[in-house]
Amino acid sequence: AWEVLEAEAMCQALEATGQDQPIEEANKFQVAPKDLEFGKSNQAALGLEAFMGVGDEEQFRSFLGQGVQAIEEEIARNGTDEDKECLQYVLYQEAGKNQGGLKRDCDAFGNMRHDRQVPGPTRMRGMHFKDFCDL
C-alpha cells in the first residue's frame, strides 16, 4: 500500500513541476544549474574534488583544463572494459548504433529515440557527441 502512495506522491510532484511530459516533449538536458542535485548536503559541502577523489583543488583545476582528454586518460588508466567501450560509444559513435550486442539510445521496440536524432544530408541520423554539446 505504501508503494502506491509513494508513486502517487511522485506523480503529483512531477505534475506540479511540469516534468510529467513524455521524454520526446521534455528535454532533460536543459535544466537550470540551480535545479541540479548532487546528493546529500553534507556530501556536497565537501566539494566536487572530494566526490571525484582528486587530492586537492589545484589538481582538480588541472583536470578541468584538459577536458575530454583527461576523461579518456582516466578511463584508460582505471576503467573497466565496459567503461572503455561505453566511453568510445559516447565520444565517437552515432547514437543508436549497435555496440557489443547492445542497442543504445533506442526505445523498448529497438527504434532509435526521436530525441537522439538530428537531420543528416539525406535522412535523420543518430546524434554524435558534438550534437549533444550543441544543445
Q: What is the pLDDT of residues 30-81, one digit of tens each?
A: 667 666 666 677 877 777 777 777 777 777 777 778 889 988 998 999 899 9
The structure's pTM equals: 0.56
Residue 22, pLDDT > 60, answer no
Q: Between 57-66 and 68-78, two packed helices, what is the crossing angle to 10 degrees?
A: 110
Question: What pLDDT was estimated at residue 18?
Answer: 53
Q: Tens digits of per-residue pLDDT, 109-127?
A: 888 899 999 999 999 999 9
The single-letter code of the amino acid at 12 is: Q
Whole-number Å distance between alpha carbons of 83 and 78: 9
User: What is the band of 13 on the pLDDT scale with cuts at 50, 70, 90?
Assistant: low
pLDDT reported for residue 106:
86
The whole-number pLDDT of residue 116 equals 92
The yes-or-no verdict on residue 95 having pLDDT over 80 is yes
Averaged pLDDT of the chain = 76
- The answer to whether the beta carbons of residues 102 and 82 sit under 8 Å apart is no
Residues 6+ apart with CB under 8 A from 88: 99
pLDDT digits (tens, 9 = 90+) for 67-89: 899 889 989 998 999 899 889 99
Q: Helix, strand, or coil here: 88?
A: helix
What is the SS3 string spanning 25-75? Answer: CCCCCCCCHHHCCCCCHHHHCCCHHHHHCCCCHHHHHHHHHHCHHHHHHHH
**Do you know the residue count of the chain?**
135
